[in-house]
Structure 1
Amino acid sequence: MSRSTLAADAGSIALASNDYIIVGVVAVVALAALAVGFVLRKEVLAADAGTPKMQDIGRAVQEGATAYLNRQFKTLAVFVVIVFFLLFALPAANIGESIGRSIFFLIGALFSAAIGSLGMRLATAANIRVASASREEGGREKATRIAFRTGGVVGMFTVGLGLLGAAVVVLVYAGGAPRVLEGFGFGAALLAMFMRVGGGIFTKAADVGADLVGKVEQGIPEDDPRNAATIADNVGDNVGDCAGMAADLFESYAVTLVAALILGTAAFGLQGLLFPLIVPAIGVVTAVIGVYITRTRPNEGSLKTINRSFYISAAISAVLSAVAAFVYLPNSFEGLTNPTDLTVVGDMAGADPRILATVAVLIGIVLAAAILWLTGYYTGTEDKPVQDVGRSSLTGAATVILSGISIGFESAVYTALVISAAVFGAFTLATGSITVALFAVALAGTGLLTTVGVIVAMDTFGPVADNAQGIAEMSGDVSGPGVDILTELDAVGNTTKAITKGIAIATAVLAATALFGSYRDAITVALADAGVALADAGTAFSYQVFAPNTLVGVIIGASVVFMFSGLAINAVTRAAGAIVFEVRRQFRENPGIMEGTVRPEYGRVVDICTRDSLRELATPGLLAIFAPIAVGFGLGVGPLAGYLAGAIATGTLMAIFLANSGGAWDNAKKLVEDGNHGGKGSPAHEATVIGDTVGDPFKDTAGPSINPLLKVMNLVSVLIAPAVVALSVGTTANPVVSIAIALVAVAIIVGAVVVSKRRSTSITDTPAESAVA
């Protein structure tokens, strides 16, 4: 990329009146998505709210979830305020963009929090309605529709707020929009990571504790009201899988848009700034179609119904995106308006931007469909992998765990290869220009974004169905066919959750690959400002993977993913230990609980989960923010590029492995509970419960948290790159300050890890420890 790329010439791009109309239409589409969300919400809340007992249980879950989120937001507000002011210290083209970047950082964080809160609050209201619908005639179709449209509300708000934020920034800042949107994406990613980690720790601490004491030790059902952890378990599903994952998918949407707009401006100029907004706007339309056509046919499983809706909406997106490309874009690169990398026109002489954009978007849509099929195969109850895990339960828990790990490893390879094929395919569309090639990768990401509305609906469907089954069992008001319907929906929800996690990590890879372009550009521009050519900058700026310093960066990046995953899983271990102590204490001190004459202290368990999850989320979060700062200022921008590459490669494999292993274990348990291999209460059932317990923090804490981790680290790297360069070369070079910043970052990481490791992980069942755990 040339010196004129983003920092100099992009800001000079001005919108004409027709361009303002296009962006205005995109904003209107975003507002329409929000309106549809409100309509769907009204429809969900109009459904029958169930029996008084169901409503009492639902109210307890809602109160616990609301209390947790309120405390979490107060904790995270401190981080948000600190980062808001730190962003002012980073270089910007002008004061207006610096202020805009910080303000839209706040807006991105607020949008992420709002979507997470909305998802949680509506899910807690929908749970009882899905449970109630299962008792009615046509219960499968009604329950599926309510659960899926609950997710549809969250999906509409995800795409609506993401698109609205991007459109407003483009309207206000025009060519300077990409740099301001870095703040918007960073705010969304930062809050999503904290919500995903904190919610994941909460939900799995409660789930593991409930399973170990209730199902394994006491031999009672999973959602038996005698188990003091059942309410906390249901609360956790909402704060982790609903609030956390909704925020996660929103930041995926926002960050992918950021990458596309940054590179689009350089590659296609004005058309590249606007076309990445047009494609997601099409996705809003197809998401509405996908949500409304989801209706279960007679003798058809719910998973097949949901998958059909996804494929239909994806096909419509592909057709409309192709039409948009051929209508809006010129037929040659000479017809583009002001690409900021002026070498693009010559490099791509003879190429057709319309065909390139169409194929790139199609690659992203096909990638989403491929991941849906792959993940469904490895985690669905109808297919061989999960059935093999179920059969392995006949020989004990060890073979269940081994077979699940094997499935996770295998599925990670195939999914990573599919993602890699998509990245490589998009990249090779423009072999003449690295700028256009990276933009093609970003366009593949926007193609995947067209499916996000339906994907979010699929994700929220999972915890809603899970909670509905729990409320039905706790209330005792659902029997006969209703029980079978809710059991099926719960199993389907496990698969849809795994699918959304796979697609979320795919967006992380596409966005991270595209952000490499903006990272490289930021370095090139900063060097030019310092009057230094990249070739003369020294080894700290080397990008060759065979260079020892770059290879060290790769290793550190891979190591951070392992450390992050270990911290998240260990946090669940500690928090779950505290729950085990508490539930055991209640059973021991109140024999009437098992007899059904004494009500357990549900609130105490919720309080323990809340306290421990908020305490534990700080260390992984600090690691994600300060590790790239330590590498960048300590080793240079070349090793930092290697760091990002190592984190992306390792994070992709690790996230898929953890998500699919956990999903396979969970559905293998469902298979046994459906009467296979001895059914409930058998040794095989006990073995699968152990497997599911191991898989809980895999699939719902560490695995999905890696996705926002990658986004946060990439955006931190893009934001600090100019400062790293400024302190490394030219008249502003100051290696002492650079090393000092790196040492402070290392000290913060070490301090956080040491504090975390000092918390006890031992589980010794004494009343004293139980009271203070």
Structure 2
Amino acid sequence: MFQQISFAASVVIVLAGAALALSWAYYLYKDIAQPIADSADDEASKLTSDIRRDSLQALAKKIRNGAFYLFWEQGTAGLWIAAGIVVWLALASSVYTAIAFGWGVAVSAGCGYFSLVVATSVTARTSAKAAKNIDQSYKIALKACCVIGFTVVAINLLAVLVLLLTLYVLQGCELEHYSVDKRACLRRLFHSMVGYALGGGFSALIGKVSGCIFAKAADSAADDGRIQKELPAGSPRNPATVADYVGGMVADLSGMCMDLCSSFSGVMCAALLLSSSHLSTSTGEADLSLQSFALVVPALGLIGSVLASYSQFVLVRVYSKRDVESGLGSIVFVAGIISTGLIWIGGYLTHERTVHFAEGRTTGYNTPFLCVCAGLWSSLVYLWAAEYSSATSNLPVQELLNACRSGPATNIIYGLALGQRSTFLPTFVLALTSFYSLQSLGYYGLALSVLGLLSTLPLRIAVDGFIPVARNAAGLADLAGMGDHPRIRLQALILTHALTPPRVQAVVVGGVASLSLYGAFLADQPKSLQIYQDGVFAGLLLGAMLPYMFSAMLVRTSAQATKGVTTEARDQIRRETGIL
């Protein structure tokens, strides 16, 4: 009779997946971290004069220093707030929740800082490689983003594992021998771990919001220079140009990494908590081995993503904008196919042939795997739907282009219709996935489906981070005066539709991750909490209002920052007559 693997064996799989991802990231980083003049293929450097090469490096240094300064400023402001929350959690909840929150803040902030270090170190080399051909420039940018994606996800997975084992020992769960006491101890353990997701979300909120405010202010100031003095937004004579690129790096790359990783942390914690509430062994006991599958899925997704990225760099050659679009789209599909087979093996090894629920019912061992697959393949449907609606070569965009011939009114109307119509298929698939998961395994199945959606997260981060890296490289090429050919090649990297699908999925992940945590909350109070209760309904109304209030505060703050940056840019133009 088959015997499922132990929790220790699952930990080995997690460590192996994380080690492979980190090793692959280190190998890619060694390839892209060479100075421009010391590249193995120095032909691109020969096409760029020494003066321009020095100018590239000097401009890249300015953007890097500005990005680090902005990151540390927002981090310093958030640190005091985080310290207050840690103290409040220790007093109001538990010391373990406070520890988990602080750990989540530190890991998320570290991932954001690491993404800045890698991205700002390769922009100059990406620009220099564009002097030769688009393929080398494309692969330098994509390799840098893969380094970020694999490292960030592997570190988050290891951080969850370390926190789990640490709290398991600190709370004394290994001393509980009776099933009731062990189950209660494990549920307390995973309740404490929710603080880790809260900490990651806090760091993501600080990083993303402050970065977006700065980016929008700098972007508006750069556009103001174009309107007032006919200075293009990317002109070296525009005082807001460097600030614009700094904001793009911090908001679109560092903030995006922290945002997606906070969703990953939330889903991991929800899946662990729900597994402790829903599942039991064949003898009705609670055991840590029941959480093995939730830990193994991201590790196997890391392995599948490594294999997919390797095939991308070995087999794919880029010669045009369409090749960039197909390459960025295919890499996630290949990872999904490989990860499906690996996750089936993981589900087979980590489950008994019959999965037992705490309330007594049973289901087949393939059911958790199917829930993961539902999320994984629905995410690929989101990807395809967003690509179809936004790619310039596809019918919807071509119809929109034809509508432009009738004037701006029909263009706006047709564009709104296209955007609203494009929401149907992703929403329909999401509804089917949620229905199947909830019918099969309840909220635990829903958490597993989101884990499946996130199983290729390293490559989704890589694809989403590709645009800000390519945009900064193109900006450096303009500022350094490298000429038309590098600029055209780098613009081909930017003008892709690849930015849309990951951001669509980021919204989906954030929403369903919140729903998973809500399911974990309901697992503790399944009968006492009903939507028709007075307090619950009033809370729903207030909760629905908060996003609008928060958005209003955010827009108002952004307007104030824009006013300050625009005024400073105008003053510099007036004082420094040489700018014009």
Shorter-chain TM range is: 0.7 to 0.9
Shift of the alpha carbon at 1:252? 1.4
Report 1:490-509 matches (<5 A).
490-492=494-496, 495-509=497-511
8 Å CA contact 1:23–1:170 kept in 2: the answer is no
8 Å CA contact 1:37–1:152 kept in 2: the answer is yes
8 Å CA contact 1:381–1:491 kept in 2: the answer is no
The counterpart of 2:373, out of the listed 362, 365, 374, is 362
Q: Which amino acid aligns with 1:273?
A: Q
Cross-structure match for 2:333 = 311
The structure-2 alpha-carbon separation of the partners of 1:523 and 1:283, relative to structure 1 and needing over 3 Å to count, comes to same
Structure 2 residue ranges without an equivalent (≥5) = 38-44, 46-52, 174-185, 281-286
| Match status 1:203 vs 2:207 | no
Post-superposition CA distance 1:298-355 (Å, at most 9, x none):
555111011111111110011111122123211213xx5xx6xx31x33x3xx20x22
Cross-structure match for 2:224 = 212
SS of the counterpart of 2:126? Answer: helix
The structure-2 alpha-carbon separation of the partners of 1:413 and 1:588, relative to structure 1 and needing over 3 Å to count, comes to farther
SS of the counterpart of 2:264? Answer: helix
8 Å CA contact 2:225–2:231 kept in 1: the answer is no
Q: Find the aligned partners of 2:426 and 2:209 in 1 and give their Cα distance.
A: 23
Report 1:662-741 matches (<5 A).
none
Shift of the alpha carbon at 1:473? 0.9
Q: Which amino acid aligns with 1:193?
A: L
8 Å CA contact 2:404–2:411 kept in 1: the answer is yes
The structure-2 alpha-carbon separation of the partners of 1:264 and 1:315, relative to structure 1 and needing over 3 Å to count, comes to same
The counterpart of 1:476, out of the listed 459, 481, 484, is 481
| Match status 1:29 vs 2:49 | no
| Match status 1:110 vs 2:112 | no
Shift of the alpha carbon at 1:418? 3.0
Cross-structure match for 2:279 = 268
More divergent stretch after superposition (482-491 vs 299-308): 299-308
Cross-structure match for 1:466 = 471
The structure-2 alpha-carbon separation of the partners of 1:321 and 1:246, relative to structure 1 and needing over 3 Å to count, comes to same
The counterpart of 1:561, out of the listed 520, 532, 547, is 547
The structure-2 alpha-carbon separation of the partners of 1:400 and 1:61, relative to structure 1 and needing over 3 Å to count, comes to farther
Shift of the alpha carbon at 1:224? 0.8
Q: Find the aligned partners of 2:198 and 2:553 in 1 and give their Cα distance.
A: 22
8 Å CA contact 2:371–2:445 kept in 1: the answer is yes
Q: Find the aligned partners of 1:151 and 1:438 in 2 and give their Cα distance.
A: 33
Cross-structure match for 2:283 = none
Cross-structure match for 1:55 = 57
Post-superposition CA distance 1:375-431 (Å, at most 9, x none):
223333333444555566667766665555444433345433332222122212x2x
Cross-structure match for 1:646 = none
Q: State, as a whole percentage, how many aligned pairs show the same letter.
A: 25
More divergent stretch after superposition (482-491 vs 189-198): 482-491
Q: Which amino acid aligns with 2:488?
A: D
SS of the counterpart of 1:293? Answer: helix
Shift of the alpha carbon at 1:497? 2.7
Q: Which amino acid aligns with 1:421?
A: L
The counterpart of 2:304, out of the listed 272, 280, 286, is 286
Cross-structure match for 1:572 = 558
The structure-2 alpha-carbon separation of the partners of 1:414 and 1:550, relative to structure 1 and needing over 3 Å to count, comes to farther
Shift of the alpha carbon at 1:514? 1.9
Q: Find the aligned partners of 2:88 and 2:413 in 1 and give their Cα distance.
A: 46
| Match status 1:258 vs 2:239 | no
SS of the counterpart of 1:294? Answer: helix
8 Å CA contact 1:48–1:129 kept in 2: the answer is yes
Q: Find the aligned partners of 1:519 and 1:413 in 2 and give their Cα distance.
A: 30
Q: Find the aligned partners of 1:262 and 1:229 in 2 and give their Cα distance.
A: 47
Shift of the alpha carbon at 1:211? 1.8
The structure-2 alpha-carbon separation of the partners of 1:37 and 1:442, relative to structure 1 and needing over 3 Å to count, comes to same
TM-score, normalisation: structure 2: 0.86
Q: Which amino acid aligns with 2:574?
A: R
The structure-2 alpha-carbon separation of the partners of 1:283 and 1:470, relative to structure 1 and needing over 3 Å to count, comes to same
8 Å CA contact 2:530–2:536 kept in 1: the answer is yes
8 Å CA contact 1:34–1:156 kept in 2: the answer is yes
The counterpart of 1:45, out of the listed 26, 29, 33, is 33
The counterpart of 2:389, out of the listed 378, 385, 389, is 378
The structure-2 alpha-carbon separation of the partners of 1:398 and 1:374, relative to structure 1 and needing over 3 Å to count, comes to same
Q: Find the aligned partners of 1:149 and 1:383 in 2 and give their Cα distance.
A: 28
Shift of the alpha carbon at 1:68? 0.8
| Match status 1:189 vs 2:201 | yes
Shift of the alpha carbon at 1:574? 2.5
The structure-2 alpha-carbon separation of the partners of 1:453 and 1:577, relative to structure 1 and needing over 3 Å to count, comes to same
Cross-structure match for 1:124 = 120
Q: Find the aligned partners of 2:571 and 2:396 in 1 and give their Cα distance.
A: 39
Q: Which amino acid aligns with 1:163?
A: L
Q: Find the aligned partners of 2:507 and 2:318 in 1 and give their Cα distance.
A: 34
Q: Which amino acid aligns with 1:183?
A: G
The structure-2 alpha-carbon separation of the partners of 1:298 and 1:67, relative to structure 1 and needing over 3 Å to count, comes to closer
Shift of the alpha carbon at 1:126? 1.3
8 Å CA contact 1:48–1:132 kept in 2: the answer is yes
The counterpart of 1:238, out of the listed 239, 249, 261, is 249
- The RMSD of aligned alpha carbons is 2.4
SS of the counterpart of 2:161? Answer: helix
Q: Find the aligned partners of 1:167 and 1:490 in 2 and give their Cα distance.
A: 37
Cross-structure match for 2:435 = 424
The structure-2 alpha-carbon separation of the partners of 1:316 and 1:519, relative to structure 1 and needing over 3 Å to count, comes to same
Q: Which amino acid aligns with 2:390?
A: T
Q: Find the aligned partners of 1:108 and 1:552 in 2 and give their Cα distance.
A: 31
Q: Find the aligned partners of 1:359 and 1:171 in 2 and give their Cα distance.
A: 28
8 Å CA contact 1:145–1:294 kept in 2: the answer is no
Shift of the alpha carbon at 1:129? 1.2
The structure-2 alpha-carbon separation of the partners of 1:192 and 1:561, relative to structure 1 and needing over 3 Å to count, comes to same
Q: Which amino acid aligns with 1:22?
A: S
Q: Find the aligned partners of 1:320 and 1:571 in 2 and give their Cα distance.
A: 47
SS of the counterpart of 1:450? Answer: coil
Q: Which amino acid aligns with 1:452?
A: L
Q: Which amino acid aligns with 2:295?
A: L
Cross-structure match for 2:8 = 20
Cross-structure match for 2:131 = 135
Post-superposition CA distance 1:59-102 (Å, at most 9, x none):
110111111111111111001101111111334xxxxxx33322
More divergent stretch after superposition (25-34 vs 139-148): 25-34
Q: Find the aligned partners of 1:399 and 1:576 in 2 and give their Cα distance.
A: 31
Shift of the alpha carbon at 1:457? 0.7
Q: Which amino acid aligns with 2:152?
A: T
Cross-structure match for 1:486 = 490
8 Å CA contact 1:266–1:272 kept in 2: the answer is no
Q: Find the aligned partners of 1:390 and 1:588 in 2 and give their Cα distance.
A: 40
SS of the counterpart of 1:496? Answer: coil
Post-superposition CA distance 1:114-169 (Å, at most 9, x none):
11111112111111111111111xx2221111111111111112211111022123
Cross-structure match for 1:592 = 578
**Paired residues, number:** 534
Q: Find the aligned partners of 1:549 and 1:169 in 2 and give their Cα distance.
A: 34
Structure 1 residue ranges without an equivalent (≥5) = 1-15, 92-97, 431-435, 525-533, 536-540, 595-773
Q: Find the aligned partners of 1:371 and 1:217 in 2 and give their Cα distance.
A: 41
8 Å CA contact 1:64–1:235 kept in 2: the answer is yes
The structure-2 alpha-carbon separation of the partners of 1:209 and 1:46, relative to structure 1 and needing over 3 Å to count, comes to same
Cross-structure match for 1:703 = none
